[in-house]
Structure 1
Amino acid sequence: MKDWTLSKILLWKTLGSKTLPSRSKNSPSRAQGFTLIELIVVILIIAVLSAIIAPGWLAFVNRQRVAKVNDGVFSAMQEAQREAKRTKRSYSVSFKTDSNNLKVAVYPEGTTTIPWKPLNEGLDIKAGQVILCSNINTTANTIVSPATCDLSSDAKKRTIQFDYQGNLAKVAGNAPDTSIGVTVAIPQSNGGTQPIEATARCVIVKTLIGSMAIEKDSTCPLP
C-alpha cells in the first residue's frame, strides 16, 4: 500500500514539474517584417496600376464636369423659353466668361442691367476647367462662322432670344438661323482657349419654334 502511494506521489511530481516548451527564436510562426525587395515590388505594382487607372479616371471626371455645365446651359435656355410663354413677352438668355468663370443670365426684353449669375455655381468646378463656345452672333440669333470661345466680356456675350410664343425671335426684321447653340468643353492643356473636341457637349436650338437638342463632339459649334 505504501509503495502504491509513493508511486502516485512520484508520478504527480514528475507531471507537475513539466512546462510547455518555449518557442525558439528561429520558429517559422514568429512574425516577420517586409524586406526591402518586397516593399519595392509593392511600390512598383501600385505605380503601374496608377498609370493605367489615372487617364480613365481623369476622362471620367472631365465628362462629369462638362455634363453638369451643359445641363446648366440647357436649363437656362428652357427657363428663358418658358418665361417668354408664361409672361407673353420676349425673353433672352445670355452667356459669357468673366475671368474664366462661366456666367449666365435669363431676363425679359427691355432689361437695362443684365442679372448675371455663375453657371457653375455649386458644381465644384474651378475657373478655366470648362469653357464655353458658341456660333451665335453678338446681335443674337444669327450664326457666326467659325464659332468662337471668346465670351470674355459683356460686349462678347452670346444671347438667344425667344418671342412671346417661345419661338426663336427675329432680329432686325430678318428670320433667324437655326442650329445655333452653346458648346461646353474642356480646354486644351496648352493654356489656350481652344476646346478638346472629344469632350464637347452642347445645346442647340434646331428649329424656329424653339426646339432644343443636346448634342456632342463634332456636332457642336466649334472653332
Structure 2
Amino acid sequence: MNTQVHFPYLVKAKNLFNNRSNSGFTLPEMLVVIVLIGILATLGIPNWLAFVNTQRLNTAGSEVHLAMRQAKSQATKEKLTWQASFREQDGILQWAVHATTVNPSNANWNNLDSNVRLDAETTLQISNGVRQIKFDYRGNSAPRSITISSKSGGKAKRCVYISTILGAMRTAKEHATTNNEGDYCY
C-alpha cells in the first residue's frame, strides 16, 4: 500500500517538518520597525510631557485653592485673622495656613510639586520673602491673586483669585490673549 496515494495529508505534514526554514526577522525588517517606533516616540513624547505638566499644574492649583479656602474657613471659625502664606524655599514652592499671630517661619509649611513656580502675575502682598493673603474674622479679604506656572516653560498657568472684598474665590487658567491688565490668566 502506497501511503502517498491514500494519505496525502501525512505526506504534507511530513514535508513541513523536514523543510525547516529560518524563522525570525531580517535586518531590514528590524530597522524599519525601529525607525517607525522612533518616529512615533518623537511625535508622542512632547504631547505626553505637556499632559504631565498640565496635570502637575492642576494638582498644585487645587492645593493653592484649598489652602486659601482653609485660611478663610479658620478665620471665620475662630473669629481671628488667618492667612495663607506662600514662599519659595530651595527652589520649591511652599504653602502654609496660620493665624496672623504666628510668625510665618514657625508655620507648618507644605511643598507643592517641585516643577511648579510662582508666576509674575501673582499679586499677593509680600513680607520678608513670604507672599500672603489675609482673611479677617468674617472671611473678608482684599482682592488678590496667585498664579503658578511650570518651571519647564510652556503657556499653561493656573490662578486662584480673591475677586471681591467679601473673599469670594475662583480659579482660572491661561487664555490666548491678555486682559486689560496684561495678564494671561484671568
Q: In structure 1, how many angstroms separate the alpha carbons of the residues matched to 2:157 and 2:100?
A: 30
Describe the shift of the 1:30–1:188 C-alpha distance in structure 2 as closer, same or farther (beyond 3 A): closer
- Percentage of pairs with the same residue: 30
User: How many corresponding residue pairs?
Assistant: 169
The answer to whether residue 172 in structure 2 is matched with residue 181 in structure 1 is no
Describe the shift of the 1:78–1:52 C-alpha distance in structure 2 as closer, same or farther (beyond 3 A): same
2:118 aligns with one of 132, 138, 151: 132
Displacement, 1:130? 1.1
Residue type of the alignment partner of 1:160? I
Q: Give SS of 2:101's match.
A: coil
Which stretches in structure 1 are left out of the alignment for 5+ residues?
A: 1-10, 140-154, 169-175, 190-195
Displacement, 1:205? 0.6
Structure-2 residue corresponding to 1:208: 165
Q: In structure 2, how many angstroms separate the alpha carbons of the residues matched to 1:24 and 1:216?
A: 66
Structure-2 residue corresponding to 1:33: 24
Which stretches in structure 2 are left out of the alignment for 5+ residues?
A: 175-182
Q: Is the 8 A contact 2:125 2:133 kept in 1?
A: no
Q: In structure 2, how many angstroms separate the alpha carbons of the residues matched to 1:92 and 1:182?
A: 14
Displacement, 1:31? 5.8
Describe the shift of the 1:110–1:158 C-alpha distance in structure 2 as closer, same or farther (beyond 3 A): same
TM-score (norm 1): 0.68
Structure-1 residue corresponding to 2:135: 162
Q: In structure 1, how many angstroms separate the alpha carbons of the residues matched to 2:50 and 2:108?
A: 30
Q: Which is richer in helix?
A: 2
Structure-1 residue corresponding to 2:92: 101
TM-score (norm 2): 0.80
Whose Rg is larger? 1
Structure-2 residue corresponding to 1:193: none
Q: Is the 8 A contact 1:80 1:107 kept in 2?
A: yes
